[in-house]
Structure 1
Amino acid sequence: MAFFGVRLTDDFAARFDAFASSKGGRSVLLRRLMAEAMTAGGLEPAPDGPGPARGQSDKLTLRLKADDRAALDSASGAAGMRRTEWALACLRGRLFRKPQFNAGQALALVEARQELARISTNLRELVRAVRDGDLAADAVSDELAKVEAFRREVRDQLDGVRAAIDGAGDYWEAA
């Protein structure tokens, strides 16, 4: 879906929004005005509709001094995030007390989850084989060694996940 952006003075925008609120809102009114202009110009406008919803959000604008902007650029760059992503993660981490992850951290957690799922499948197959008696008596000790290796691997993965979540939580907490 296409997006048209228009720069307006704050006063004009506020007055237009006040007017548009009684007409269904800014987007509805703008689509209607555009359709009327196309019809007046002899063109067939597309059917009116809001298009796919993107979720409701509000814009927050910050004015930063040069040293604040440089610090923000440095912190967001070090975290592997864009400025807006970093600032939003900072707000969410502080407001909702939930860890926030950059793309690399999120990918690492997904990989850990996939590894744990693989281990779970292997353990399930091993338990089934032992339960059904598909293993010879001498093979059971070998399989028990595999179970111990799986246990250590699961513990290491869980420790990594815990460290990632704790680290993200600590990072976004206020100093």
Structure 2
Amino acid sequence: MAFFGLRLPDDLAARFDAMAASRGGRSALLRGLVDEALRTNADDVVVPAPRERTTGRVEVRLTPSDLALLDAAAEARGLKRTEWIVALLRRRLFGKAPPPRPDRAAIAQSWRELNRIGINLNQAVHALHAATMVDSGLDLAREAARVASFRDDVDKKLAALGQALKGDASYWDTPA
């Protein structure tokens, strides 16, 4: 049987363990999630091509001042000198570049926050539906305000995430 290992932040692992406890443990829940993902999206599964080994070398000679500027630019993006050059080349050649390390963490955090907001929004919508029932004791105006607040939070997060991605992509764009 194949083994898959992954690292999770402690808070996410604790939440996953809490969910997994009632479903047979970590492994059982993970197997079920993988099985469900492959079953429900079987037509959408794209097997990526294996990553090519980087065996080619290019040597560039730079002046000490050019090298200092290169190092500063790479450090500002949280990259090593070679990673910065490769990212720049790939952006020019293929139209894509990976976000720098600090941005990757911010983007991942934004996705987690959007997911939490989406869960809360879903709960609020369910509460709104329940509030329309005859015997409901819920305050419909309060629940509607909660939904509007969640919508505003999602809009702000999506705008910030879009700006981060747009800013990152434009960083690598240079005149041809």
- Structure 2 length as normaliser, TM-score? 0.62
Partner of 1:107: 105
Tell me, which stretches of 5 or more residues in structure 1 are unaligned? 1-52
CA 1:128–1:138 in 2, change beyond 3 Å: closer, same or farther? closer
Partner of 2:140: 140
1:100–1:172 CA contact under 8 A, matched in 2: no
1:153 & 1:105 partners in 2: Cα distance? 20
1:99 & 1:154 partners in 2: Cα distance? 26
1:99–1:165 CA contact under 8 A, matched in 2: no
Structure number with larger C-alpha Rg: 1
Q: Which of 58, 69, 76 matches 2:55?
A: 58
CA positional deviation for 1:152: 1.1
* Comparing 127-136 and 102-111, the one that deviates more: 127-136
CA positional deviation for 1:132: 3.7
Partner of 2:125: 127
SS of alignment partner, residue 170 of structure 1: helix
Partner of 1:82: 80
2:78–2:100 CA contact under 8 A, matched in 1: yes
By relative contact order (CA 8 Å, sep 6+), the higher-ranking structure is: 1
1:73–1:83 CA contact under 8 A, matched in 2: yes
CA positional deviation for 1:101: 0.8
2:149 & 2:51 partners in 1: Cα distance? 46
Which string of whole-angstrom CA distances, capped at 9 and with x for unpartnered residues, describes residues 141-167 of structure 1?
111111111111111101111101110
1:119 & 1:76 partners in 2: Cα distance? 34
CA positional deviation for 1:92: 1.6
2:161 & 2:118 partners in 1: Cα distance? 16
* Comparing 109-118 and 129-138, the one that deviates more: 129-138
CA positional deviation for 1:124: 1.1
CA 1:100–1:68 in 2, change beyond 3 Å: closer, same or farther? same
| Structure 1 letter corresponding to 2:76 | A
Tell me, which stretches of 5 or more residues in structure 2 are unaligned? 1-49
2:95 & 2:164 partners in 1: Cα distance? 15
Partner of 2:7: none
The residue correspondences of 1:88-99 to structure 2 (distance < 5 A) are: 88-99=86-97
Which string of whole-angstrom CA distances, capped at 9 and with x for unpartnered residues, describes residues 55-95 of structure 1?
52223232222232222111111222111111111112222
CA positional deviation for 1:138: 5.6
2:124–2:146 CA contact under 8 A, matched in 1: no
* Comparing 62-71 and 140-149, the one that deviates more: 62-71
SS of alignment partner, residue 80 of structure 1: coil
CA positional deviation for 1:98: 2.2
2:89 & 2:128 partners in 1: Cα distance? 51
> How many residue pairs are counted as aligned between the two chains?
123
| Structure 2 letter corresponding to 1:87 | I
- Structure 1 length as normaliser, TM-score? 0.63
